[in-house]
């Protein structure tokens, strides 16, 4: 790994058939945050979990924001490409296939940006409470990549119109998007885990 690589955790696969997961935490999380979630969603998958390299009041994030819901888009682009380079390096180092991103909040937003800026980095994504990451996204070609977008009906941070716009944006880029709005807020619920586990099982079966 190069000097610029992310602090991260890697747990090797225990089951040959499960896709590797790229775990991307929310604001204030770290590389340990989503390991339990990854194991619940896809037992047996290799887990690659980096820590965001931007600090906001001491809390790790994957990119800077100017205010809640207002992103520093230049930073989003730069950080997404850095993350894509890290994934490429990690794939070589650990001998894994392109991962499915599992991102929560800020982590889901960087995953969405990565899909739009460097589509080859990911095999698909589970986006938990994601927003549109770029107001003027590049024309991406997502060629049928599977994406599960789970939003909260009472989410105080992500307006329903924004998550619907993200679903449309990814669909227009050629992804196979499944968007579900759950009766919850910004925090994750058991329903998120159950839906994500069922979804990844189906994606896995189709790929096999």
Per-residue pLDDT band for 186 (boundaries 50, 70, 90) equals very high
Q: Is 72 annotated as catalytic?
A: no
Distance CA 190, CA 208 (A): 27
Catalytic pick among 42, 45, 49, 105 = 105
The rounded mean pLDDT for the chain is 94
Catalytic pick among 30, 75, 85, 186 = 186
Q: Which of 13, 30, 163, 40 is nearest to 99 (CA)?
A: 13
Q: Which of 5, 52, 57, 56 is nearest to 29 (CA)?
A: 52
Which of 4-18, 42-56, 194-208 has maximum average pLDDT?
Answer: 42-56
pLDDT of residue 208: 46
The domains of the chain are located at 8-207
pLDDT of residue 4: 54
pLDDT of residue 2: 47
pLDDT of residue 206: 58
Mean pLDDT on 85-101: 97
pLDDT of residue 5: 80
Per-residue pLDDT band for 204 (boundaries 50, 70, 90) equals low
Q: Is 75 annotated as catalytic?
A: no
Mean pLDDT on 64-72: 91
205 pLDDT more than 70:
no
Strands 70-71 and 65-67: what pairing? Answer: antiparallel
| CATH no. of 8-207 | 3.40.50.1820
Q: Is 25 annotated as catalytic?
A: no
Q: Which of 144, 117, 163 is nearest to 203 (CA)?
A: 144
Q: What are 96-149's pLDDT values in tens digits?
A: 999 999 999 999 999 999 999 999 999 999 999 999 999 999 999 999 999 999
pLDDT of residue 203: 79
Mean pLDDT on 78-87: 97
Distance CA 80, CA 84 (A): 6
Mean pLDDT on 185-193: 97
Question: If you write DSSP's letter for every residue of 114-144 in order, what string do you get?
Answer: HHHH-GGG-SEEEEES-----SS------TT
Q: Which residue has the higher pLDDT, 2 or 126?
A: 126
**This model's pTM is above 0.85:** yes
Distance CA 113, CA 36 (A): 24
C-alpha 149 chain-centroid distance: 10
| Residues 78, 81, 82, 83, CA torsion sign | positive
Catalytic pick among 155, 163, 184, 192 = 155
3-state SS, 137-198, equals CCCCCCCCCEEEEEEECCCCCCCHHHHHHHHHHHHHCCCEEEEEEECCCCCCCHHHHHHHHH
3 pLDDT more than 90:
no
Percent of the chain that is helix, strand, coil (3-state, to 5): 35, 25, 40
């Amino acid at each position: 790994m190069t000097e610029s690589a992310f602090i991260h955790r890697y747990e090797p696969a225990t089951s040959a058939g499960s896709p590797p997961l790229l775990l991307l935490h929310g604001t204030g999380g770290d590389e340990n945050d989503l390991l339990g979630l990854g194991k619940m969603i896809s037992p047996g998958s290799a887990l690659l979990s980096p820590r965001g390299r931007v600090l906001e009041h001491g809390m790790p994030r994957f990119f800077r924001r100017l205010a809640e819901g207002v992103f520093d888009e230049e930073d989003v682009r730069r950080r997404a490409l850095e993350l894509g380079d890290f994934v490429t390096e990690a794939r070589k180092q650990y001998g894994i296939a392109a991962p499915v991103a599992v991102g929560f909040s800020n982590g889901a937003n960087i995953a969405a940006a990565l899909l739009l800026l460097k589509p080859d980095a990911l095999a698909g994504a589970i986006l938990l409470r994601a927003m549109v990451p770029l107001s003027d996204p590049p024309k991406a070609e997502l060629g049928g990549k599977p994406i599960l977008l789970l939003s909260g009906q009472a989410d105080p941070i992500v307006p329903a119109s924004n998550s619907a716009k993200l679903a449309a944006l990814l669909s227009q880029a050629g992804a196979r998007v499944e968007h579900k709005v759950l009766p919850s807020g910004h925090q994750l619920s058991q329903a998120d885990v159950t839906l994500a586990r069922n979804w990844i099982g189906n994606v896995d079966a189709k790929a096999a």
